[in-house]
Amino acid sequence: MIPFLLQTVTISLSGVMAPGPISAVTVGKGTRSPRAGAWIAVGHGLFEIPLMFAILFGLGTVIAHPPVKFTIFIVGGMLLFLMGWDMFTNLRETQMTAGQSEASPVAAGILLSAGNPYFLIWWATVGAALLLQAKAFGWIGFLLFATLHWLCDLIWLSILSFASSRGGHIFGNLFQKILFGVCGTFLILFSIKFIRDGIRILIS
């Protein structure tokens, strides 16, 4: 089982460390709280763990259907656009307030996971293969796989938000606003890419 668990950590880290919507939002929210990454990981896990069970019981074949993929890409693109736009509209309110409610990062973790078509398709393909390997070791293998995978998310997102928070403390409120603007821009760019890819699925 140890070789499989090492494979799990390697593949999980390669996925979580790749730049994407969750990374962008984690950096943006990290300017407000160093704990934002941990709470985003909690939200991500609240969506991802049930998704693992659903994939095991056949959801992966449903996601693979072109009409479903098209819907996921379009809805996900619209969601990211709204979140990116919200970052721009909140630029004037950006302040270093560590005591803010943690509900927003948790919700962001859930929404970004549910609205990311590449994340869902990854689980329907690569993730499904890993789940089958994990299940070969029984439910203990599955639980170890799920735990290790989520811990990779937790550790990396916590590092991102902590680094962003320290940058905000060192460079001040202007740094926060610039970072918020950059992250909002990336979210909108990701949204355009998702919608474009969804249209390509429709016309292909």
Domain boundaries, the chain: 2-9+24-92+99-203
Phi, psi of 76 (to 5 degrees): -60, -40
Measured distance CA(169)–CA(190) in Å, rounded: 28
- The amino acid occupying position 186 is F
pLDDT of residue 96: 45
Q: What is the mean pLDDT of residues 100-107?
A: 70
pLDDT of residue 51: 96
Contact 183, 25 (CB under 8 A): yes
Q: What is the mean pLDDT of residues 17-26?
A: 88
Confidence of residue 184 (pLDDT cuts 50, 70, 90): confident
Measured distance CA(107)–CA(114) in Å, rounded: 11
142 vs 13, higher pLDDT: 142
Measured distance CA(168)–CA(183) in Å, rounded: 14
